[in-house]
Structures are given as structure tokens and as C-alpha cells.
Structure 1
């Protein structure tokens, strides 16, 4: 159960990193900084499959992070469910 808790916390931290990265996309100068590039290296590998499936609406509004957050929430619930089964 402890491992499930730590995995869920890691997913929570990653969710916050995604939120910060998405907010940074509104500020191009911040996104081009070294911190922005670090966040891009962490977040883009996870977001790119969703972007291939869900194209931006009107070429501007990107809905893929919403689906990515949904997948992270499902993963967290799945981790707790599996931990509950084996506890």
C-alpha cells in the first residue's frame, strides 16, 4: 500500500509539472528559457501521443492536456485499485 501511495504522489507531482508547463505556453519567453526547455523535455514525450490523436481545435486550442490529465487520474485510481486488491 505504501508503494501505491508513493506512485500516486509521483503522478500528482507530474500533474503539477504539466499544469506549469501548460501555463508557460502562454508566455513564449518563459517557454524558451532553460526552465521551459527542461519542462518540455519532461512533458512533451507524454503529451505528444495525445496531440497526434487529438488535433488542436482551429489550430489554436489544444485539448490534449485535458485527455492527458484524465489518463493520469485513471492511472492513479488503477494503482489504488490494484493496491486494494493485493492488500
Structure 2
């Protein structure tokens, strides 16, 4: 279970870095930005239908991170109860 939590933590960090790339001109067009896009976009596309934009600020990534961590905690709790 620790490996699962570590993977979720690393993916959360990648999502935060992906969000921060929007602050840099051409950040998404760099090699690193393209790599992060291939890693992050499939998950983030699940939240595209939600209108989480408030003016110029888009809260889609924040919602995705919160839901990812809540689901991770719930799954960890369920599995811990099944094992012990």
C-alpha cells in the first residue's frame, strides 16, 4: 500500500508542476511540457465537462488533485480493512 500512496503522491506533484507550467510562456511546448501533457492530460480530460473556471482562473487541476487524493485515501482505507 505504501507503493500505491507513493505513486499517487508523485502523480500529484506532476499535476502541480503541469499547472505551474501555465505561468511560463511556451512551457507546454517544451519537451518536458509535452511529456507532462502525455502523462497528465488523460486524467485531467475526465474533468473537462465540469465548468470549474472562475474568471481567468481554472480550478480543474485543483479539483482533480483533491479527487485523486480522496479516492486514494478511500481505497487505502478499504484495502486496509479487508487485509486486517
> Which has the larger share of helix?
1
Q: TM-score, normalised by structure 2?
A: 0.87
| Structure 1, gaps ≥5 residues long | none
| Structure 2, gaps ≥5 residues long | none
Aligned equivalent of 1:34, options 31, 34, 42: 31
Cα RMSD for the two superposed structures: 1.3
Higher relative contact order (CA 8 A, sep 6+): 1
Count residues with an aligned counterpart: 83
> Which has the larger share of strand?
2
Q: TM-score, normalised by structure 1?
A: 0.84
Moved beyond 3 Å, runs of 4+: none
